[in-house]
A and B are shown apart, each in its own frame.
Chain A
Amino acid sequence: MAWTAPMTFVANQVLTAAQLNTHLRDNLNECPTAKATTSGSYFVGNGPNSVVERSPETARVSAYQTTTSASYDNLVGTVGPTVTVTTGTKALIFIGCLTSNSLSDRMNAMSWRVSGATTRASLDATAARIDGITAGNLVTATSTDLMTDLTPGSNTFTAEYKVGSGTGTFGDRFIAVLPL
């Protein structure tokens, strides 16, 4: 079923079962109340006269784990955090962590890659990143981005990490995705 622009009735016109089904039943079934399935979800446009339910997801890894990789990769230990959501072409992503480096004046970065319906590698431009901190000092790093070029469908967002040099430590890592 789909939305049909509600018809205009004229006095003395007979309301048929087919008209009731099209203009009342089917249209009501396109409304958020009919589509709601999950507490905490919200509704977004899905094109002309169409709305769809979306559910946000978040994941966190508390453990402090390390990397010496100069290209984005998993940490030694737990991959991620990772979330999988159903999206349209857009999603709002939040990431963050506490991070330090074994050496002074080095770069640490946390970003995310996308897999599933979309394939996209981690990017420096949208990373949570620090440069040049004193060795061993923990710093909170966060980043946010509205992605607008996703392929609609099931998309998985996985946090990845890298350093300029030295050993980077990352803990209290989180990722949250609000699909649109």
Chain B
Amino acid sequence: MAWTAPMTAVANTAFTAAQFNTYVRDNLLETAPAKATTAGSLIVSAGANQIAERIPARATDYTARTTASTSYTSLASPVSVTVSSGVQAIVFFTARISNNTAGQTGYVALEFEYEGSTSPAADVSSLQFTSASSNQAFQGSYATLSGIGYSAGINTITMKQRVSGGTGTFDNRILTVIPL
């Protein structure tokens, strides 16, 4: 069933069962309370005269992990969420970044993988911190809209990490996805 623009009643015209089913029953079944299943979900537009329920998702890893990789990697315990979504999502991520070598930078970025894709793309937006000394660290957040590789359907978003040099330590990693 789908939404049908409500009819305009005319005086002395019979209101039929078929009309009731189309304009009352079927249209009510396209409203938010009909679509809602889960506490804490969001109801968003899914196109012309369509709404859909979306479930925010979160993943965390509070353990300090290290890497000396200069290309993006998932670390020993990937932080990743899989959501059912429209064409976009709002994504927030937080991490604590440090490096054992002064002047080197730690980077945290996102990889978006649409179901069935064979080459997930790493987004260029990143949270980064350059340590002026080995005992410096930064813990903060970054926010973005979903990037390259994201499509309507089932998407997996993964935090990726790398360094410019030295060995980076990443902990308190939190990923929050609000699918739209």
Contact = CB atoms under 8 A, between A and B. Distances in A.
Given A3-B34, A6-B25, A50-B36, A129 B96 contact: yes
A132 B17 contact: no
Given A105-B135, A128-B140, A130-B137, A145 B94 contact: yes
Interface residues of A, number: 57
B98 to A, nearest CB: 7
B46 to A, nearest CB: 15
Contacts of B18: 9, 11
A53 to B, nearest CB: 11
Contacts, number: 157
A60 to B, nearest CB: 17
B17 A145 contact: no
A44 interface: yes
Give the residue among A109, A124, A128, A144 with the most B Cβ atoms within 10 A.
A144
B36 A142 contact: no
A131 B135 contact: yes
Q: State the majority secondary structure of interface residues on B.
A: mixed
Contacts of A42: 42
A46 B139 contact: no
A145 B137 contact: no
B12 interface: no
Interface string A112-148: 0000000000001111111111100001111111101
A48 B35 CA distance: 8
B36 A46 contact: yes
A146 B143 CA distance: 13
Interface residues of B, number: 47
Contact of A44 (B40, B94, B139): B40
B133 A45 contact: no
Nearest to A133: B136
B24 interface: yes
Contact of B17 (A11, A44, A45): A11
Given A50-B33, A51-B36, A129-B139, A44 B178 contact: no
Closest 4 CB pairs of A and B: A132-B136, A45-B41, A9-B17, A131-B137
26 contacts: A5-B29, A8-B21, A11-B17, A11-B18, A12-B17, A15-B15, A23-B25, A24-B28, A27-B28, A28-B28, A30-B31, A32-B43, A47-B37, A48-B36, A48-B37, A50-B33, A50-B36, A89-B40, A92-B178, A105-B133, A125-B174, A128-B141, A131-B98, A144-B94, A144-B176, A180-B42
